[in-house]
Structure 1
């Protein structure tokens, strides 16, 4: 099963050319290599700092260059972020279900009362709260070409399909009204999580351990395409994850508690967001923890987001020692 190209005028990708990683311009089911002269910049991140999409649009309409079928090349992660920021608990319905599930353990509330109480909490958070961010490791960013190897130290590795913002112009302490001027485009990320490592068992007061739970090699399958922001209505796109052909996640970004301008603005208050950085926006309901079914050897995940194509992730188990 191959990655599906996005239905947009053009997109960017990276692919292997022998031992070299090349940046490519994708039009339909074809790709051609682009170099610094084509970009008018010294590499992808420099281009994203001041993207000239019209330049690439002109190139996309040209017959010049050597065009290859996407099926002929091996795509890799389409970005080279220096920072990866992740957003937690950002889909309203997902968090309502999680909170309600915990509340119903208290017999003082019926399931409907628990759900109504959780909904009120989320609406208050959206009105008066702030996004919740944590940091991922850029080294975990990989493409469709890298199988997801499940570490042998756990049996509860989970999926989380997410829309990821690709930062363009550097953003530092920007407000919500300015935020979208710093978004270059979007890509797909599957934020893999080892559930039994999320909360510390040796000292519960410390709380969550996102480093161990989310940062094993290959735990951020990314891409395969970087789509310019102008081609995507990111406030209303559908995310859909299939596991071995069965739909597990199916939601839209209309359900975000904090929208993309709010996330970019909020994340930029602490550290500058740099060109090419990834900002994950959260994952909707339907992960393995919900289904009580976790990833195992031989699984195939197909994650699709409107306008961004489809990402295919092949799962393998770490060989026993």
Structure 2
């Protein structure tokens, strides 16, 4: 499931959800005492060495294939980052420039690249907020609302906050990162921009917050096992590769994002901070999600997320 030596997950146990320690293809339930008071309490002051000590300890180990995993986190806040993959944004800007000016494609690409490099040097990340109720595991099918036919995927590396972060510097930001997980930030494209009053701009609430629009997990991998500056991001739709990138292309890296987001409001243990999605979404391919589609997302050592799509009428 993961190339990391161990990870955390949450799994269903009847009507309850328990936290488990994942090692290879096995999972062992963790008690609140072993975690030190529950998942978010542990993440507030994560002692990964203590958890690692349990990887060889006796206990109630189960094959992963026999349990139902759900979202591995319980965030109180979800922050999402827009326009944060350099080459993706350059392509979008260059496409607009070639349509509206007499620049050649090469000139438009060069101009857009200079814009993005200047933004990385002196600009700020672009954030918006999502609803925590949309965070689900890939055990929950993605129901595609019938009010649109342009629901899109955006696979993202997601930061899981550890110790509370409020107005932290870039230099100290990683001290507040407990780990990472996978999030697919689903977007209904025809709801992004308001049609009744264009001056308002984007409507992220309607476009991104239908039930289940933040499939998350299946694992929470300790930060020590993830190089956020060089991690592959890959999404397949029904076996066809649609997104294939690397976090080395992020305009603003994880320390920059955590620092910038924390300047406005404290980031709390267990919160999710999405880092943005690379090129290759449905809008690019002119192919959107349909009933029966299966999305398979992999990000480095974070395991594999499988999301099954169901049309609202079919559900």
Establish whether TM, by shorter chain, passes 0.5.
yes
Q: 2:25 aligns with which of 19, 29, 36?
A: 29
TM-score by length of 2: 0.99
Q: Which runs of 5+ in 1 are unaligned?
A: none
Matched, 1:51 2:46: yes
Q: Using the alignment, how far apart are the partners of 2:211 and 2:32 within structure 1?
A: 30
What residue number does 1:115 align with?
A: 109
Corresponding residue for 1:156?
150
Gaps of 5+ in 2: none
Give the Cα separation in 2 of the matches to 1:28 and 1:320. 36
In the alignment, the residues of structure 1 paired with residue 309 and residue 255 of structure 2 have an alpha-carbon distance, to the nearest angstrom, of 34
Alignment-derived partner of residue 207 in structure 1:
201
Q: What secondary structure is seen at the aligned counterpart in 2 of 1:239? A: strand
Shift of the alpha carbon at 1:239?
0.3
For 1:126-156, what per-residue CA distance to the aligned partner results, in whole angstroms no more than 9, with x for missing partners? Answer: 0110000000000000001100000000000
Q: What does 1:243-282 align with in structure 2 at a 5 Å threshold?
A: 243-282=237-276
Is 2:87 the counterpart of 1:100? Answer: no
2:227 is the counterpart of 1:233: yes
Aligned to 2:125: 131
Does the 8 A contact of 1:9 with 1:27 survive in 2?
yes
Q: How far apart, in 2, do the equivalents of 1:204 and 1:119 lie? A: 28
Aligned residues: 315
- Aligned-residue offset at 1:37: 1.3
Residue among 288, 291, 295 paired with 1:294: 288
Report the Cα distance in structure 1 between the residues aligned to 2:203 and 2:220, rounded to whole angstroms: 30
Q: Kindly provide the CA deviation profile for residues 166-189 of structure 1, in whole angstroms up to 9, marking residues without a partner as x.
A: 000000000000100000000000
Normalising by structure 1, we get a TM-score of: 0.97
**Alignment partners' CA distance in 1, 2:190 and 2:294:** 22
1:14 to 10, 20, 29: 10
Report what 1:71 is aligned to: 65
Matched residue SS, 2:160: strand
**RMSD across aligned C-alpha pairs, in angstroms?**
1.0
CA distance in 2, matches of 1:275, 1:167: 5
Does the 8 Å contact 1:152/1:320 carry over to 2?
no
